[in-house]
Amino acid sequence: MRINLDTFEEVHSPMYVVEEAKLRRNLELIVSVATRADVEIILAFKAFALWKTFPIFKEYIRSTTASSLSEAKLAFEEFGSRAHTYSPAYTDDEIGEIALCSSHLTFNSLTQYVRFAAVAKHHNEQLSFGLRVNPEYSEVETDLYNPCAPGTRFGLSAERLPAILPAGIEGFHCHCHCESGSDVFARTLQHIESKFAKWFPALKWINFGGGHLMTRNDYDVELLINTLRSFKQRHPHLQIILEPGSAFAWQTGPLVAQVVDIVEDKGIKTAILNVSFTCHMPDCLEMPYQPTVRNAQSLALEAAINGGENNIYRLGGNSCLSGDFMGSWQFDHALNVGENVIFEDMIHYTTVKTNMFNGISHPSLAIASPLGELQILRTFGYEDYKSRMD
C-alpha cells in the first residue's frame, strides 16, 4: 500500500512507521563521522532493535551493542556480528551464551570480572574484555538518566582501579551522555583523560558510550570529529568506539494514532486515543517531556481548561492509569472520532520499551519506503498478550 507521508491518511489503526529515507539520512551522517574521525560507531539496541530493518543498517555499520543476553543473541543471529556487550550484572546461567554472542565484554566491577572472565573466555577465546569506568562527571541533568550521580551503580571510579589492571583487560567503557551535544563530550573528555589516561598504555580500545546525538539538527558534528581526532593523536594506539542508540533512530518516524472519543470534565476536553502514553510512549511520562504532535501547537497543561472552543485538547491514553494523558495541544479544527493524531519522532526508545499493560492492543510496526510504500513488519494480537504470561 502506498501512503501519504504527510497525512498518513491511509493508516486507520495505531502504527509506528519508520521512514526509510530519514533512517538512511541518519546512517549516512553517522558513517561519515566514523570515517572522518577514524572511529567505529555501533548501534545500541537498547534504543532501537527493529531487526527486520537490520539489512538497511548493515549497508552502513558492522556492529552493535548489547546490554543483555537477548540483545547479544539478536546481534549474533540477526545482525550477523558479535555484540559489544555491557551489563551491570552477568549471571552464571547466562554468561556462557553471552560470551558466545559477543566480541567485546565489559564488566561493571572487578568482582564481576574475577567471577566471570575465565568462564567467558572458555566459551569464546576471542573475547576482548573491558571495564566500565566512571569519570564522576556528567552534564545530564535528569537523575533518571545520569550514570555518574553520587552512589551510582555503574562502573569504577579512578580511585577504585588498581594501579596495574588485571592482565585480561583490554578496554575501558564510559557512558555519561544523554541526548548531549559535542561540546558536552569535549568537556567530559577532559575529565576522562585526567582521571584515566595513566591506564591507557595498557589498553587497546576505549568506548565512549552513547548519548552522542549527532543527527540532531543543531549538533556540532565538526566539533565531535575534531575532538575525536585530537584524542586519537594523543593516544594513537587506542581504537575508539561510540555506541549511540537515539542518534540512529532520531526523527525517523511517527506513531500514528486515531481519536476514539472526546470526553469533557470541568471544562477540559480530552481526546481519547487508541494508544497509550504509559504503554506506547513511556518516556513522555518518565522523562517527562511533551511530544510534538503534527499540525498541533504544544501548550501548557492548564491551557486545556475552558480551551475546548479554541480546539485545545488533552490527549488521553486508552489505559486505566489515571495519569495516562498529556496536554495540552491546540489543533486548527475540532477533533473528530476516527481522525489521525500523529506523534512525531516516536521510533527510538519506544518500540523497545512498549508493554501490554491492560492487554491494550499494541500498535503495529511498519517501514515506509521513500516513495511511501508501506511494509507492515509486525502486527500484535491476543496471543502476544497471552503468551507473555504462560
Binding site for ligand PLP (CB under 6 A): 44, 46-47, 86, 175, 178, 209-211, 243-247
Name the residue nearer to ligand PLP (CB basis): 47 or 98: 47
Q: What are phi and psi of 57, to 5 degrees?
A: -60, -40
Nearest distance, CB of residue 44 and ligand PLP, angstroms: 4
Nine-digit cell string for 88: 551491570
Nearest distance, CB of residue 210 and ligand PLP, angstroms: 2
Separation of alpha carbons 99 and 122, rounded Å: 9
Separation of alpha carbons 263 and 164, rounded Å: 66
Q: Establish whether 283 is an annotated binding residue.
A: yes
Name the residue nearer to ligand PLP (CB basis): 130 or 245: 245
Separation of alpha carbons 270 and 337, rounded Å: 12
Nearest distance, CB of residue 373 and ligand PLP, angstroms: 28
Whether the Cβ atoms of residue 180 and residue 210 lie closer than 8 Å to each other: no
- Helices of type H across the chain: 20-37, 54-58, 69-74, 92-100, 110-123, 182-196, 221-234, 246-249, 277-280, 282-286, 382-387
Separation of alpha carbons 202 and 49, rounded Å: 34
Nearest distance, CB of residue 149 and ligand PLP, angstroms: 14
Please, how many CA atoms are within 13 Å of residue 161, restricted to the half-sphere of its CB? 24
Q: Is 281 exposed, middle or buried (0-12, 13-18, 19+ CB in 10 A)?
A: buried
Q: Is 352 exposed, middle or buried (0-12, 13-18, 19+ CB in 10 A)?
A: middle
Nearest distance, CB of residue 133 and ligand PLP, angstroms: 12
Name the residue nearer to ligand PLP (CB basis): 191 or 294: 191
Name the residue nearer to ligand PLP (CB basis): 5 or 148: 148
Nearest distance, CB of residue 26 and ligand PLP, angstroms: 12
Give Cα 320 to chain centroid, integer Å.
27
Which residue's CB atom is positioned nearest to ligand PLP? 210
Name the residue nearer to ligand PLP (CB basis): 180 or 328: 180
Query: Grid coordinates 494523558 are at which residue?
Result: 325
Name the residue nearer to ligand PLP (CB basis): 185 or 343: 185
Name the residue nearer to ligand PLP (CB basis): 108 or 258: 108
Nearest distance, CB of residue 287 and ligand PLP, angstroms: 12
Q: What are phi and psi of 91, to 5 degrees?
A: -130, 160
Give Cα 67 to chain centroid, integer Å.
12
> Which residue ranges are tagged as binding site?
283
- The annotation places the binding site for substrate at 283
